[in-house]
Structure 1
């Protein structure tokens, strides 16, 4: 059954022709060959288009579209999902890439679980040059609850998305589910996390495969890194998204687990961006995120809040009061 399954690999790209070649070559090298590779190009110039035309002109499985005007990350991905004609959809960002048997391995669980809707697996972490860091790869996956003990059908599919177990790539899902969930353009750089959470919350069966199927490139040039530390940071949007979700009571522990990770980050972001009162409110509403005061991070964040409050008060003083005698 899986051999006849058509897979649509969606590749959004923007101004990275030097990296997309490795991504596309990995797609073409898949041992599962019944696939199409859809490219949505948001680049500001024609370098990527020229590369595709010169290098991949004779590859019928590659279907390239240049977005004019550019759509932005989320709308680009959403357009790719809409274009997909496969039974299943996979997403691969232009700076990341698959192992040769990545798609084949992601399809295997459907043989034993034909009602599956979503499968995801492990990611290698590689540096900007593509060198694998084995130790960091193990730590990366373990940090997001991807371990041998977790392999198999997930008892609570929704929990998988909430606690960030679901990766940004290295997954495959039924096309009808992916298209129904969609890719939101109102959550900024948090769109990958929000999509993963909503996909898992909507799915009835989600499977985790403890096997490396993709490579995640860690570099200094990315949207998430460019906004890190600002009020546009993905962590802040993720915190707001999780806070507002309407969940079944059985998923409240998963929400709490997600908040344990997110709340301290948000406290720090608010304190460092001149919003000390907002930082204090988050810290006091989520004391469990700081082990109820037994975490040194709590006192460090209190010091950040205090400094921000002093700075805010100082700025509000009239010039005459702010001068030293």
Structure 2
């Protein structure tokens, strides 16, 4: 049996995928674990041949299982397929443009096997041809990833709401990952990472275990899902929070989320020209005076709605 299955959804980025693969197979002390790397490729062409330069360097304890999808599955279904294919004791999701820092897999996997009812993760460093540690320190602190939160979290639902668990590079038991699964885009849009972490805590009662070390690099690129015009994660995140009644169970944390996210949700509705939805949130008396009146963007949003709707 494999110790770890690493699932990688990929689309049109073979060079970045190879960088990620190399970050796995060159890990310090990686030979003590048996690892399967599962690739779900939604690219227009089959890229398996381009991976030969990596495959020929594989140590005997690591295998790559490549699957090309025609037609493409889409991000959510691709992740779900990777989880269902996993045969290792533990599972790790990793997006194709991110990569592991040296020695991180060992540290994450050791903690995951010691804490079987937890999702284990560390800090992400942003990468755009260079590592940006000063800015990453600040970003990780914003997401409750610093020394104050090291170890097991007291309230993992609250931490899931605040997105303490990163979008990838976390490890949990595969049996838990299979139980949680990946809901389809029709249900949750592009918020699949947030949805997975929240449901893990709310529905499956898993905890969060934070390692106060940099474990993965988060790639900054123009074609990432995060920066995509089609990204509706903020809007769907709010719906998911209401779905699981976190506004009732964790009202103070829900208030924090609205302070940071509500303006972004309104902007999304304006971009996709759903002006009625934008008005619903923007012209709510409670929303306006609690979360919006002091933000300059609010008055730009009012102007756009008045002009275009």
Query: C-alpha displacement at 1:91, in angstroms?
Result: 0.9
- RMSD over aligned Cα, in angstroms? 2.5
- For 2:159, the equivalent position in structure 1 comes to 160
Query: C-alpha displacement at 1:80, in angstroms?
Result: 0.9
Identify if the C-alpha distance between structure 1 residues 256 and 63 changes in structure 2 by more than 3 Å, giving closer, same or farther.
same
SS of 1:39's partner is strand
Q: 2:16 aligns with which of 14, 19, 29?
A: 19
Q: Give the Cα–Cα distance (whole angstroms) in 2 for the partners of residues 250 and 265 of structure 1.
A: 23
Query: C-alpha displacement at 1:300, in angstroms?
Result: 3.7
- For 1:219, the equivalent position in structure 2 comes to 221
Q: Give the Cα–Cα distance (whole angstroms) in 2 for the partners of residues 220 and 311 of structure 1.
A: 28
Question: Does structure 1 residue 209 correspond to structure 2 residue 211?
Answer: yes
Query: C-alpha displacement at 1:209, in angstroms?
Result: 1.1
Q: Give the Cα–Cα distance (whole angstroms) in 2 for the partners of residues 258 and 43 of structure 1.
A: 35
Q: How does 1:1-325 map to 2 (within 5 A)?
A: 6-30=3-27, 31-33=29-31, 34=33, 35-46=35-46, 48-57=47-56, 59=58, 61-110=63-112, 114-127=115-128, 129=129, 131-186=130-185, 187-201=188-202, 202-227=204-229, 233-247=232-246, 249-285=248-284, 287=286, 291=290, 295=294, 297=295, 300-312=297-309
Q: Give the Cα–Cα distance (whole angstroms) in 1 for the partners of residues 308 and 68 of structure 2.
A: 48
Q: Give the Cα–Cα distance (whole angstroms) in 2 for the partners of residues 272 and 83 of structure 1.
A: 37
Query: C-alpha displacement at 1:249, in angstroms?
Result: 4.7
Query: Which sections of structure 2, spanning at least 5 residues, go unmatched?
Result: none
Identify if the C-alpha distance between structure 1 residues 280 and 215 changes in structure 2 by more than 3 Å, giving closer, same or farther.
same
Q: Give the Cα–Cα distance (whole angstroms) in 1 for the partners of residues 236 and 112 of structure 2.
A: 34
* Stretch deviating more after TM superposition (191-200 or 246-255): 246-255
Q: Give the Cα–Cα distance (whole angstroms) in 1 for the partners of residues 116 and 86 of structure 2.
A: 21
Higher gyration radius (CA): 1
Count of matched residue positions in the alignment of Structure 1 and Structure 2: 300
State the Cα deviation string for residues 47-71 of structure 1 (Å, max 9, x = none): x211124531563511112222221
* Stretch deviating more after TM superposition (19-28 or 181-190): 181-190
Identify if the C-alpha distance between structure 1 residues 226 and 206 changes in structure 2 by more than 3 Å, giving closer, same or farther.
closer
Q: Give the Cα–Cα distance (whole angstroms) in 1 for the partners of residues 16 and 224 of structure 2.
A: 12
Q: Give the Cα–Cα distance (whole angstroms) in 1 for the partners of residues 65 and 3 of structure 2.
A: 15
